[in-house]
Structure 1
Amino acid sequence: MADRLEPYRGKRDPRRTREPIPEAAPREGGGGDTFVIQEHHARSLHWDLRLERDGVLVSWAIPKGLPPDPATNHLAVHTEDHPMEYADFEGEIPQGEYGGGTMTVWDRGGYETEKWSDREVKIVLNGSRASGRYVLFQTHGRNWMIHRMDPPNGSWEPPPADLSPMEAVTRSRAPRDAARFAWEFAWGGARALVHVQGGRVAVRSPGGADITAGHGWLRAMGPALGSRAVVLDGEIVTLAGSSVYVCYDLVYDDGRSLLAEPYERRRTALEDLRLAGPRWQTAPSWPGGLPAVRQAAREQGLPGVVGKRLDSAYEPGRESAAWIFLPV
């Protein structure tokens, strides 16, 4: 009987990688129901879905992760069977080796099999992060698709497809209740909404045009956020001679719209993302600190400051008095 792990061993050098490479062939049979999903930061970010079957982990590489709802299918590339020991593997695969990069366990648990054939696999995942009914079906050769068969959890919402940014009104004087606002620098850059999903980045202009191609340097933000799906509001500015995306609002976060949430909560959620990369950062914000912020903006040659009411919702496409631009 053929050793199902021969292709796996043939791609790995035990002298260079810490991946488990058992010498013995896997034992056929058994009714194990383990699944694991590993986040794999290799040449390109993807997620590896592995299902226990006949003593091995049958595996697919899914570039965009599991589809969150039945409306979208995701590519799943069938890869070689992995040993059962791989379900616990985390760590660095050396660069230059097959799959070189960082591997972490994203989720694991048990699964139920509804159908298993050479061209179609129907399963129910029961994990802490991944749960629901999915079907994997072959399309051509190693290329399969994965489809979610049941609706997502009741609280899940899709990311907004068309969204225009909220705009500030211009005032010459500070509001009397300035202490009820958070104050930020007005950067004077190009406004942009950044959509991140499945490790991929899409950059859109205020009018909704896809301008991702002109800002390829932002694509690295996708792998930095991993599987998190977000929609960010901010500006593309020039700092120290380089283009940088300065984020100052979060309107969608991992299956939940934040449009109706007060600015104060959106700001906390934005800071929790810890966005601090080589070409992106979270804009500073100071509740009630108008005089000092305005003076700092003047000293740095910025056009002004923007105040955002702490209790204000995000109003897409509207010029709202909840946001106030004050020239310096």
Structure 2
Amino acid sequence: MSADKLDTYRRKRDPARTPEPVPAAGPLPSGGNDTFVIQEHHARRLHWDLRLERDGVLVSWAIPKGLPLDPKTNHLAVHTEDHPLEYATFEGEIAPGEYGGGLMLIWDRGTYQTEKWTDREVKVVMNGSRATGRYVLFPLDAKNWMIHRMDPPPPPRWPPVAEVRPMRPAERRRIPRDPGAYGFEFDFGGRRALAEVRDGRAWFYAEDGTEIPAGEHPGLESPGRGLPDLPILFDGQLTGVGDTLAYMVFDVLRLNTGDLTGRTYQDRRRTLDHLKLRGPHWQTTPWFPGDGEAMLAVARERGLPAVFARRLDGTYRPGGSTPDWLRIPVPDAD
């Protein structure tokens, strides 16, 4: 009798405690051996999971830095247990304390062609919306592999940060009539700024794309501990908090090799929350779904100028003003 390829997967998961697919033991489905998925996994440490359909399962590797884009750089790929084919469409929150606990989002999925598949080398051509090109995986030992891009580096996927213009909220006088469709944030005032984080350092850009001199944001050059060592682009406000300057972050637009602007606000905020900014002068703006009137009342008590209302299913439109993002000024006291 052949070994159950999903036995390890099932032993690590309790179907009553995880939203992940846990199929019953039995014959494996047959497919075309041509589906891949890459999932962004906010577990104990952020990483990306590459899964390739092979003989009824998804053969899987955890890649801490995502796919390499330059053939001069190889990335670590940790071989993990085979996953069921149903996992190719899985997104969700795995409960804390469970195996792999954390947020799981699909970063890309598509088809691939196999050029070679042996115990010593897996060579494939991926055809996705983000992941394209020829890659080879090869083992260092039984668990640790490396992944190498065989094609030349792809062209830049997005303009430089200096050419990105923040999305602007539309002004409204009242909370939307369907508040359950929105997430609400405080407008802390201050100066709007994009922050590009690379190699543990931050560069800030004004709304017109000009770089903000370091002297105008003292103490904010380092976002502090906790962020992964990956390029990230944030959107937020440079705001005075007491006697100090803080960067209040309310959105994440790019993460590693991924442009997140096409994701919904709810997914971007979940990603931002899981990044757990911990710098002494960097803070993630709190957000609350549904109860905009209560937010306005708290904003008035705290002397804040306004509340933002952002549609949970709205995307980020650089440089545009959209009714998916509203700014509601705090009304004057009666």
Both proteins in one fold, TM over 0.5: yes
Alignment gaps of 5+ in structure 2:
162-188, 204-213, 258-267, 286-334
Q: Indicate if the aligned counterparts of 2:57 and 2:82 stay in contact, CA closer than 8 A.
A: yes
Identify if the C-alpha distance between structure 1 residues 281 and 42 changes in structure 2 by more than 3 Å, giving closer, same or farther: closer
Match of 1:319 in 2: none
Q: Secondary structure at the match of 1:80?
A: strand
d(CA) in 1 for partners of 2:154 and 2:222? 36
Question: Aligned residue for 2:246?
Answer: 244
Distance verdict in 2 for CA 1:136–1:159, change over 3 Å = farther
Shift of 1:155: 3.9
Q: 1:135 to 1:242 in 2, by over 3 A?
A: farther
Q: Which amino acid aligns with 1:51?
A: L
Label 1:118 to 1:212 Cα distance change in 2 as closer, same or farther (>3 A).
Answer: farther
Aligned to 1:74: 75
**Partner in structure 1 of residue 94 of structure 2:** 93
Q: CA deviation at 1:216?
A: 2.9
**How many positions carry a matched residue from both structures?**
225
Distance 2:85 2:255 in 1: 34
Deviations 1:223-268 (A, max 9, x none): 9xxx8x4478999997347773479xxxx9978xxxxxxxxxxxxx
> 8 Å contact 2:36–2:110 — kept in the other structure?
yes
3-state secondary structure, aligned to 1:79: strand
1:216 aligns with 2:187: no
Distance 2:141 2:160 in 1: 30
Q: Post-superposition shift, 1:135? A: 0.8
1:195 aligns with one of 171, 194, 197: 197
| 8 Å contact kept, 2:108–2:130 | yes
1:242–1:117 Cα change, 3 Å: farther
Percent identity over the alignment? Answer: 58
Rate the CA distance shift 1:156–1:5 in 2: closer, same or farther, 3 A.
same
Opposite residue 94 of structure 1, the aligned amino acid is A
- TM-score scaled by length of structure 2: 0.55
Distance 1:11 1:237, change over 3 A: same
TM-score (norm. length: structure 1): 0.56
| Distance (whole Å) between structure 2 residues aligned to residue 13 and residue 111 of structure 1 | 31
Q: 1:242 to 1:68 in 2, by over 3 A?
A: farther
**For residues 14 and 20 of structure 1, what CA distance do their matches in structure 2 show?**
8
Q: Name which one, 1 or 2, has greater alpha-carbon Rg.
A: 1
Query: Residues 194 and 202 of structure 1 are in contact (CA less than 8 Å); yes or no, is this contact kept in structure 2?
Result: no
Structure 2 counterpart of 1:6? 7
Using the TM superposition, give the Cα deviation of residue 215 of structure 1 relative to its aligned residue in structure 2, in angstroms: 5.3
Counterparts of 1:56 and 1:81, CA distance in 2: 6
Structure-2 change in CA distance of 1:71 and 1:27 (3 Å): same
Give 1:44 shift.
1.0
Q: Distance in 2 between matches of 1:105 and 1:6?
A: 24
User: SS of the residue aligned with 2:140?
Assistant: strand
Q: Rate the CA distance shift 1:212–1:67 in 2: closer, same or farther, 3 A.
A: farther
> 1:173 aligns to what?
none
Match for 2:104: what amino acid? M
Contact preservation (8 Å) 1:35, 1:109: yes
Deviation at 1:106, TM superposition (A): 1.1
Secondary structure at the residue paired with 2:52?
strand
Matches within 5 A, 1:1-328: 1-27=2-28, 30-155=31-156, 195-196=197-198, 202-203=200-201, 216-217=224-225, 219-220=226-227, 222=228, 229-230=231-232, 239-240=241-242, 244-245=246-247, 279-280=282-283
Is 2:66–2:256's contact at 8 Å kept on the other side of the alignment?
Answer: no
CA RMSD of aligned residues (A): 4.4
Distance 1:253 1:18 in 2: 25
In structure 1, stretches of 5+ residues that fail to align are 161-183, 187-192, 256-272, 283-328
